[in-house]
Amino acid sequence: MPLAVPVLPEGVDPAWLPAAAFRSLGTRRTLIRGSGPLVETVHGEVAGACARFGGRVERDPEPGAGASYDLVLEVGPGLGDEEFAYERTAGSTTVTASGQSGLLYGLFHVVRLGENAFHGERAREVHGPALPLRMLDHWDHVAVHPVMGQVERGYAGGSLFWEDGRARGGTARVRAYGRLLAACGINAVAVNNVNVHETEAHLLTDRIGEVAALADALRPYGIRTHLSVTFAAPIVLGGVDTADPLDARVREWWARATADVYSAIPDFGGYVVKADSEGQPGPFAYGRSHADGANMLAAALAEHGGTVHWRAFVYNHRQDWRDRSTDRARAAYDHFVPLDGQFADNAVLQVKHGPMDFQVREPVSPVLGAMPRTRLALEVQATQEYTGQQRHVCWLGPMWSEVLGFRPEGAARVGELADGLVAVSNVGDDPFWTGHPLAQANLYTLGRLAWQPDADPYRLLDEWIRLTFPAAAPRLVTGLQTALKGSWRTYEKYTAPLGVGFMVQPGHHYGPSVDGYEYSPWGTYHFADRDGVGVDRSAATGTGFAAQYAKPWSEMYESPDTCPDELLLFFHHMSYGHILHSGKTVIQHIYDTHFEGVAEVEEAREAWASLADLVGPARHARVTERYDEQVRSAREWRDQVNSYFFRKSGVVDSHGRRIY
């Protein structure tokens, strides 16, 4: 039985799968050969498109029936689970897959190609994902937190998965979400926050049925469901008096609990764990290592085919700001690199892209090149915690692409060294999914980069535009490109300068507060004084963080002369008068970029205003309202940062602009 395409609730945006994106497919004659649940998903997609646009779909006709088809989607031998082969000969396009999700990915490939899928000839080409783990971590809570809301660092309404204290289960909204993810290549989802509170701890045991309902809704789109668990579960849930990973009772408890999970969800993906980090429990309490902790869970998961995602985000979050010898940037490397080779095969170490915490500009984490005998997943934030919280346009494709293209030892790229790309989700129950309609581009680009890390992000952006706005007028395409392409650099310009990071309001992290974290326990300092600003992380005179890199990076970062401007204050404390490679002084760079950044946002808002006739009124109004806030906020950033450094340095702007 073909699986019907989920019908979106009234008012919910179809994102990059509007009906019109299926026009080329839906006007053709398609044959589907093979069987299995995901084949039914594919059949439902084609049938839905044909019902709307007048084409036809047939299923496994009698051999020799002799009809001719525009498109054949078939299950055949010789390919990997997620791969598909694509070719076009003699007026017919064929997509072949061995595993079922490969066929689904092939179908969406055809959708993306549009009319191009049905013209000319194309020799057989095999497509498959470069990274087997392509995952979204939802920092969702079952219960609404009075301060954090329901989704920690969520800016798109409530949770898509949890409502009124229960799982939404197999609602059309959850199924439609799975469909969107499959269409950009995501194959895994963690359904709850890595900070596991009391209510959410129970999802592992007595509330696993609710997780199973979500898994049932996502499975037809090739997505495996994961669960964030608390390391203290044996104590909290099991009544064991320890969570020591080497204690037999603990191992037995996890083995039994995990077996029960697999009874409920046979294709369960595995666990996500934040341990010994920001107050979460972990193996340190028992004198055990992170490898001990991860391997204990890996052992429980192994026989079922599950994976443990162990986060490398471990640092001292109760640092004394007076202590200049401790450097949070060093922490992940210092904690984990000595453990290289000790992690089980089904343990994946999940490493944030930078050494700090999802800032708009950080160097690539040195951990990513330093653990060749460990499976690594690169973790990024699709949710814009530090990049405008989906009130600002900040398309992160180029940033992620830079990270994936970084060559830690001068040879292989991060996108080749890693086994996976994991993003903290930017999705909620908002009608536009992501709060800011243009933030959908981040989610789409993320999925596509996980599939092909060396893809040109600007090509992926165009892909997103063409899918989301089929048959868009050239003026709209250009307008959207203008709004999004440079938006990350623009955001960087009007916020913390030259890689120094933070300078955000404590707690919620929205808007500027230059000294907001300067005297805090969080390890996030800029050390600005009347003479200069920045953190000396050199090996010669600083914290030594620069030496955690292999050459050439360690040498490049070590000296202000060779350190790239954009990371200068991350690695060095510089005087305001220091001349950058750009030829400007540090202080003039600060002033200039902050004036430029605001001007760019003002231009983008104007450009958007001119598109009112080309997009629907709801979308236009939503984006307009957010641009107004972005302009207001960008001006606040500009004026606070410039005033702060003017008051400290006493250096006047060489262009004589207004600084308060």
* Residues involved in catalysis: 278, 357, 385
**Whole-angstrom distance, CA of residue 381 vs CA of residue 362:** 13
**Whole-angstrom distance, CA of residue 614 vs CA of residue 263:** 50
- Interface positions with a second copy (CB under 8 A): 146-147, 321-322, 512-516, 519, 528-531, 636, 639-640, 643-644, 646-650, 660
With 0-12 CB in 10 A as exposed, 13-18 as middle and 19+ as buried, what is 394?
buried
In the numeric block, which tokens belong to residue 265? Answer: 């969800």
Q: Strand runs (DSSP E) across 442-556, as ranges? A: 532-533
Q: How many CB atoms lie within 10 A of CB 137?
A: 27
Closest-CA residue to 32 (of 120, 95, 89): 95
3-state secondary structure of 149: strand
Contact indicator for 53, 22 with CB cutoff of 8 Å: yes
Give DSSP secondary structure letters for 21-82. GGHHHHTSEEEEE--SHHHHHHHHHHHHHHHHHS-EEEESPPTT-----SEEEEE-SSS-TT
Give the CA distances from residue 17 to residues 6, 67, 93, 113, 444, in Å, rounded to whole numbers and listed in that order: 12, 30, 21, 13, 11
| DSSP assigned state of 512 | B
**Whole-angstrom distance, CA of residue 178 vs CA of residue 213:** 13
Q: State how far Cα 614 lies from the chain centre.
A: 29
Question: Angle at Cα 439 formed by Cα 433 and Cα 443, nearest 5°?
Answer: 75
Closer to a second copy by CB, 77 or 660: give it: 660
Least separation in angstroms between residue 502's CB and a second copy is 14
Least separation in angstroms between residue 351's CB and a second copy is 32
Closer to a second copy by CB, 188 or 659: give it: 659
| DSSP assigned state of 285 | G
With 0-12 CB in 10 A as exposed, 13-18 as middle and 19+ as buried, what is 584?
middle
**Whole-angstrom distance, CA of residue 588 vs CA of residue 584:** 6
Q: How many CB atoms lie within 10 A of CB 322?
A: 6
Closest-CA residue to 97 (of 113, 110, 115, 79): 79
Least separation in angstroms between residue 521's CB and a second copy is 10
Contact indicator for 523, 316 with CB cutoff of 8 Å: yes
Least separation in angstroms between residue 517's CB and a second copy is 10
Least separation in angstroms between residue 271's CB and a second copy is 30
**Whole-angstrom distance, CA of residue 593 vs CA of residue 398:** 19
